[in-house]
Amino acid sequence: MSGILKFGLPFALWVFLLRDFVFGAIPVNMDTHTIYGVTKYYFNNLLNGVVPLWEPFVDLGRPFYALSICNLFNPVTQLVAVLKLLGVNYYAGFLAYLAAYFVLGLAGFYLLAKEIFKDRACAFWAYVLLLFSGLGLSIFTQMTWLEIFVPAVWFFYFCLRFAARPTPGNFLGLCLSLMIVLTSYLPFYFLTLAGVCLIGAFIFYFSNMVRFVRDAFRFLNRNRALAVVGLTGILIAAAPLAAYKMVDASNDIVSPGRHCPYSSAQECYERTMNKKGGMLYEEATRSGTLGERVDLGFLFTHLDKLTYGSDSPLFIPVFVFLLVWLGAFLRLSRPLALILTVAAVIALIALGDATPVHRFLYDYVFFFKYFRNLFFFSAFLIPLLVLFAVGQMKALLELKLGTTARRKAAIVGILVLHALFAAFLLRYDGVITATFATVIVSAVLFALYYGGVRLKTPVWIALFSAVMCVQPAQVMTSYAANAAEFKCVLPHNHVIPSFGWVRPDKPQTSECRIYQFVHYEDFWYAMSMTDAPARVGYPQAASRWVFDLSQKTDAATLARYGRYKIVVYDDANQPAIPLTEDSAAVRVKHFDVNQLVLATDLPRRMMLVYNDAFTGAWKVFIDGKSAQLLRANSAFKGVWVEPGAHTVAFRYSPWGGQGLYIFVTIVLMAFAVVTVGVLRKEKT
Amino acid sequence: MIWTKRVLTTNIIAYAALALLFHFAVDHAKVFDQRSKYLLGIFYNGYFKNYKDGVVYFDYMIRQQPGDPQNHANLAICYKELGDTKRAAK
């Protein structure tokens, strides 16, 4: 009960401060909006009985490429579908999942801190500081941070546990974390962190690491069946990413789509044609670096002006910096030295082309060509800083002050350090009141603590926790107030998609300000399962042929032609006969996002063109028999149909098909259940 | 000797080493270029100006280029638009 109260109170305060976001009055923005769009599209179709592999509504049809990188197969994400079945709408379900996943990450972070410091109070402070950091603030704009943070934190927790006690439960936990890493988002951020930690661990804990490796091999040798199970699980979890890579390498889509406008359409086109994966160095570092998103002054100033238009509220509670400063004259312990080193190296990498480190990795480590947005490393930097600060807190509170003279010296020292910190803050314009209040209250509390004031340990824990929350409370209140102008409702109802014969001329308008703010309308169409006008606005994973066509024709011509979804021709070079509704000649028998089945009864042999993007993974069947699918009118799908009654089925069938994703979801759920079961058994 | 070891193993030595590392390893002009462009983009995001983002942007510019009077003037305009006349006058 006390545990629930202890952890529940700070969380309740967090919910209260961000209530407009948590309860849906202010819609999710930026990348979280994208992830919501993908999640809604996925589960909406899944509950219609279809695993969506194609998006026919935007860019004249394109692969549903985000399927593999939005955490959709995670057991926790299935909450969205469960809640929908219980009558909760998709948006509320998504917010519940978001909060639940954040709590899962916090729980992992608490356990990791407890494992590192062997101290419950420190672990609790780590929980509080992370809860009230930019990670907690960013989940409504940059959920990607959460997606890469949560499995990573559990991985390191199980790693430490496995090093101490190599048991089947800890091994399964490690494997499950890796499986989630592979199915959440691009695993390259995690790989970078894991690599840096591994090198750091060998430097700072060489003999321990040698022992760890020896014990791990011994464990795997003794538990070969378990090792095979773990490895198989990891390989299965990698399958969606492999499918993603196969679409990417198929020469059929613009890849990396979103970077094309940054370089040149021609270059992008040539790279796609030549099957050249990866990004140019300039593309990988042109934007999204850590230096772009944060500067020293930004960490302390204008924190009441954080707006909802920025996807990087890299906010770290001032108490973290204060602890780092207060511990300046203490001895650097080995665990903290490791944490500091890892944080420094990650920060250097995240600075992109502003340091030689990233260039070196880009040249010599293959996966650095496949990701950008280096500021996502903040998802690791914030927790690392919090861990370092909490370690300092532990050291500060464990100072041995036997004599009165030493106590007095400690009080003077701590007050001077606080004064110096306040003086540093005074250099800046726009430091909020709560920041100064935190420094003052912290000085008083430390002075009382060193002065020998006798209070029970839980009281000290509560007092220090309260100080940690003061500044974040003001920041979060301001953030919510600044975001109030964004209030609106996103698409959240269940949709059964219907086939539209004609694409609209003009875009749909939404009252949501976020659609005026960033060009994310595509996701609105996908969520609503409504056709967008025939255009290629933002060629993110657009079919290469459609993109090619959009480059070679003017927008008006493309819009005019792409307006009609079904067109028939008597012969090549004959005028198109657009069809605008069900008729005796062509009637829609079935439509879902992966396929279109038509009943035809044409008077003569005709070419039937489905004005939806062509890719090599599309197949066509006439009366159940495979027929030759032609690339018609540069970018679309066509097939010759004989006169008389026939059934023509266009189906999107990429590698793995729909079954792959269902299988991966089931495997992940089974793995999670078994892991939890084994861990519980080991505990008892 | 013991004192030397004690001093060298304190956190502040590590902080100083890191500060030096970041000072020499980072191309500050490039960071400034990226950060200023990003903040300007946020200020003029989409179809409107947000003066709160403007304050962050121009304050950053003042810290980087204190001698440029235009940044001070623009910061004052942003404060004025936000109704903070005291700061605008300053």
Q: Which DSSP letter does residue A502 get? A: B
Query: A509 lies in a domain?
Result: no
| Domain of residue A525, residue span | 514-552
pLDDT per position as a tens digit, A134-192: 999 999 999 999 999 999 999 999 999 999 999 999 999 999 999 999 999 989 999 99
Strands (E), A474-605: 566-569, 577-579, 586-592, 595-602
Query: A558 lies in a domain?
Result: no
CA-based nearest residue in chain B for residue A323: B11
Partner-chain residue, chosen from A301, A331, A354, that has the shortest CB–CB distance to B30: A354
| Same domain, residue pair A479 and A585 | no
Query: Which residues of chain A does B10 touch, with a Cβ-Cβ cutoff of 8 Å?
Result: 328-332
Query: Which residues of chain B does A430 touch, with a Cβ-Cβ cutoff of 8 Å?
Result: 55, 59
| Same domain, residue pair A471 and A586 | no
| Same domain, residue pair A610 and A673 | no
Residue A150 Cα distances to A103, A236, A605, A675, angstroms: 9, 20, 58, 17
Q: Which DSSP letter does residue A250 get? A: T
| Same domain, residue pair A77 and A114 | yes
What does the alpha-carbon distance between residue A44 and residue A527 come to, in Å, rounded to a whole number? 9
In terms of Cα–Cα distance, which of A148, A180, A172, A271 is closest to A220?
A172
Query: A185 with A69: CB under 8 angstroms?
Result: yes
Query: A677 lies in a domain?
Result: yes
Query: Which residues of chain B does A327 touch, with a Cβ-Cβ cutoff of 8 Å?
Result: 11
What does the alpha-carbon distance between residue A379 and residue A649 come to, in Å, rounded to a whole number? 45
Query: Which residues of chain B does A355 touch, with a Cβ-Cβ cutoff of 8 Å?
Result: 25-27
Query: A63 with A54: CB under 8 angstroms?
Result: yes
pLDDT per position as a tens digit, A648-682: 999 999 999 999 999 999 999 999 999 999 999 99
| Same domain, residue pair A37 and A100 | yes
Strand pairing report for A62-63 and A618-622: unpaired
| Same domain, residue pair A366 and A343 | yes
**Cβ within 8 Å, pair B31-A354:** yes
Q: Is it the case that residue A66 has pLDDT exceeding 80?
A: yes
Query: A610 with A650: CB under 8 angstroms?
Result: yes
- Interface with chain A: mutation pick from B3, B12, B18, B38, highest number of A CBs within 10 Å: B38
Boundary (domain end) residue, out of A529, A552, A575 = A552
pLDDT per position as a tens digit, A185-234: 989 999 999 999 999 999 999 999 999 999 999 999 999 999 999 999 99
Band the pLDDT of A566: cuts 50, 70, 90: very high
A340 close contact with B: CB closer than 8 A: yes
| Same domain, residue pair A576 and A459 | no
What does the domain layout of chain B look like in residue ranges?
26-89
Query: A415 lies in a domain?
Result: no
Q: Which DSSP letter does residue A543 get? A: B
Q: CB count, 10 Å around CB of A126?
A: 27
| Same domain, residue pair A182 and A87 | yes
Query: Which residues of chain B does A516 touch, with a Cβ-Cβ cutoff of 8 Å?
Result: 46-48
Count of domains for chain A: 3
* Residue A429 pLDDT: 87
Look at the alpha carbons of B35, B41, B45, B51 in this order and tell me if their dihedral is positive or negative. Answer: positive
What does the alpha-carbon distance between residue A363 and residue A236 come to, in Å, rounded to a whole number? 30
Q: Is it the case that residue A264 has pLDDT exceeding 70?
A: no
Partner-chain residue, chosen from B46, B52, B60, that has the shortest CB–CB distance to A295: B60
* Residue A265 pLDDT: 65
| Same domain, residue pair A100 and A244 | yes
Would residue A631 be called left, alpha or beta, if left means φ above 0 and alpha means ψ between -120 and 50 degrees?
Answer: beta
**Cβ within 8 Å, pair B53-A310:** yes
Quick one: average pLDDT of A94-110?
Answer: 98
Task: State both tokens at A186.
Answer: 């691009």
Walking along chain B (90 residues) 10 residues at a time, the average pLDDT comes out as 74 95 94 91 74 90 90 92 85
Residue A224 Cα distances to A344, A533, A673, B29, angstroms: 38, 56, 21, 54
Axis crossing angle, helix A457-482 with helix A318-326, rounded to the nearest 10: 140
